[in-house]
Amino acid sequence: MNIKSPAQQQIEGHWKQFTGKVKETWGDLTNDDLDRFEGKMDQLEGHIEEKTGEDRAAIRRKIDALARTIKQHV
């Protein structure tokens, strides 16, 4: 049985919120895409760039804005 600490649960909760916002922003990303890059923002940015053709700097700005939005609501 895998019992998670409250901190682990909180991190997972934030990750789910974050990935939900990422999927809203880039609708063609799947849960599998996001699960593959959990916690690896550089790799996630590269994957979004590859999948969408969007400029990496723009992707980083959007990701940072999404993260700030979630942090404000915590």
**Do the beta carbons of residue 40 and residue 62 sit within 8 Å?**
no
CA distance 66 to 31: 17
Which mean pLDDT values do the consecutive 10-residue runs of the chain (74 residues) have? 60 80 91 85 91 94 85 68
pLDDT value of residue 54: 96
CA distance 8 to 22: 21
pLDDT value of residue 35: 87
pTM above 0.75, yes or no: no
